[in-house]
Amino acid sequence: MLKETQRSPFVKVSLGIAGGLLGGLVGSLAAVLLTQLIKQILDVASGQATIWLLLLPLVGVALAVLVLFGLGKGQSIQTLVPREATFPGRWGSLFSWYSFPHDIARADLTGDVVNASGAEEKFPWKLAPLRALAILSTVGLGATMGTESPAAHIGVATGVWLGTINPSLRPLVRPMGIGGGAAAVSALMGIPLVGSFFMFELSQRRQVPITLERVMAMLAGGLVGWGINAAFNLNLIRLVVPKVPPANLWDTVGATLFIGAIAGAITALTGEAIYWARGLRTKPVLRLLMGGIAMLLLAMVIGGIASPTVAFGPGGAAILWSETVTTTPYQLLAVALLRAASTTAAVVAGGCGGVFVPFLAIGDLSGRVFATAFGISADLAGAAGAAAGIAGGYRLPLTAVAMILGVGGPETAQITCLATVIVAALAGLVTARLANQLSSSLRLPSR
């Protein structure tokens, strides 16, 4: 078999496309099935009485911790160097299905995708069933976490699984994993390039070289995911479409600067807090106790300011509340900050889910704070803020750009959103660096 460096461009493109299409098909279907099941559970749970809206997220996170640390074995330590766990003996293959290697943080789904970038064949796909159970309980029972990282994780795992167990598909295992992740995200969003850029930007955190095979797998996977979304007419993530363009240049500039800065800064701080929370080495029971109490208190405060449903779920209910209820800028900003704290608390407690959708909601609410001040429509402010949240907090500016272009709307409204992404990316970068510097200075030993 030819080494990867010895393959011709035609072979690389062919392998990338074939792997992306096949991995994208199985990966997106697996992710859609999981997401649909989450939505069904979430719909039932969201219709319960107020007391259950407060308690069910705690139950969901507790079940996730039980699955990951009760059924799951091993000791998790978050690092950036993937290793392979070995389990000698005749029962080794069975243990590998629920034994977490030392370098895998059990609830960190994005971390697995990032760590395996460039070596997708080493992705810990055998742990996907346990993680799926933890995702189902966390997100399905209403914790403030989302479905995009779960989708990408399940998509990559399914693609790598199929390529690994079938000897004839071994040459395609890497592009199948890439295509599976891209397709899963695109299937959720209904926009082909969102999944492609999502996988690309995550891989760049490990500075993985850009090759023809990887590019073709990302593009093919994104296309398959979009096709699955269109074929089944899926509506898995609600995106705000700007309908009214800004009236003048001042509105555009003002909205761009203020929405980009506030949404980028808030989500960047939330991202730093989440990264810190995932790196905690406190015992799972203690984490669950601390994070669970914080989740409950924050949900009660959000319920007092807005409504108990606003504190429940990934963020769709919060956006719907902002669209249908007369609110003040102070209420919107308070709910955005409180939901940011609630997502962080869910991570501290051990919840297993994503932050893409929560960042969309936080950014959307933050953007609407400035709608009246600059005389722009609430939907434009919300769409710009949502894109800013992804660019500033998740640090995925290209994914945010793909989302804006895919959602559509008046041309000047799209330009406003695109400019907001630039401001948010810069604001998020500056905020994260300041937060890191402050954290480092506080950790320095006193003389």
- Rounded distance between C-alpha atoms, residue 161 and residue 180, angstroms: 10
Instruction: Give CB contacts under 8 A, 24+ apart, made by 406-411.
Output: 406/189, 406/190, 406/191, 406/192, 406/193, 406/194, 407/191, 407/239, 407/240, 407/241, 407/242, 407/383, 408/241, 409/241, 409/242, 409/243, 409/245, 409/380, 409/383, 410/242, 410/243, 410/244, 410/245, 411/245
> What confidence score (pLDDT) does residue 84 get?
47
Buried b or exposed e, range 181-212, using 16+ CB within 10 angstroms? bbbbbbbbbbbbbbbbbbbbbbbeeeebeebb
pLDDT bucket at 6, cuts 50 / 70 / 90: low
Determine the Cα–Cα distance for residues 194 and 403; give it in Å rounded to an integer.
6
Confidence of residue 440 (pLDDT cuts 50, 70, 90): confident
* pLDDT tens track for 380-406: 999 999 999 999 999 999 999 999 999
Q: For tokens 């960042």, name the residue.
A: 359
- What per-residue confidence (pLDDT) applies to 86? 46
- Region 80-99: what's the mean pLDDT? 48
At residue 91, does pLDDT exceed 60? no
Residue-wise pLDDT tens digits, 261-270: 999 999 999 9
Of the pLDDT bands very low, low, confident and very high (cuts 50, 70, 90), residue 438 is confident
pLDDT at position 247: 83
- Tell me the average pLDDT across 270-279: 89
Euclidean distance between CA atoms 178 and 381, whole angstroms? 33
375 pLDDT more than 70? yes
Residue tagged 């409950």 (tokens):
296
Q: Among the listed ranges 92-106, 192-206, 276-290, which one has the minimum average pLDDT value? A: 92-106
Reduced to 3 states, what is the DSSP secondary structure of residue 165?
helix
**Helices 50-66, 284-305: inter-axial angle, 10-degree rounding:** 160
- At 248 the pLDDT is 84
Residue with tokens 């766990």: 85
Sign of CA dihedral 191, 195, 198, 201: negative
pLDDT category of residue 80 using cuts at 50, 70 and 90 = very low
pLDDT at 9: 82
What separation, in Å, do the N-terminal and C-terminal C-alpha atoms of the chain show?
A: 61
Q: Is the pLDDT of residue 183 over 90?
A: yes
Q: Bigger pLDDT: 388 or 84?
A: 388
Give the residue from 60, 27, 67, 66 showing the smallest Cα distance to 41. 60
Three-class SS state of 86: coil
Query: What's the confidence (pLDDT) of residue 444?
Result: 55
Percent of the chain with pLDDT over 90: 74
Q: In the structure encoding, which two tokens stand for residue 440, read together?
A: 């480092």
Say which residues have a Cβ less than 8 Å from residue 301's Cβ, sequence separation at least 6: 338
d(C-alpha 147, C-alpha 142), whole Å: 12
* CA–CA gap between residue 85 and residue 101 (Å, rounded): 5
Tell me if 138 sits within 8 A of 61, measured CB to CB: yes
| Amino acid letter, residue 274 | I
Q: Which residue has the tokens 């390039």?
A: 193
Q: Residue 92: what residue type? A: G
Answer whether residue 303 shows pLDDT above 80.
yes
In 248-336, DSSP assigns E strands to none
Structure tokens at 16: 């990338």
Provide, rounded to the nearest whole percent, the portion of the chain with pLDDT above 70.
Answer: 90
CA distance 107 to 109: 6
User: How sure is the predictor about 90, in pLDDT bands with cuts at 50, 70 and 90?
Assistant: very low
At which residue do the structure tokens 């609110």 appear? Answer: 327
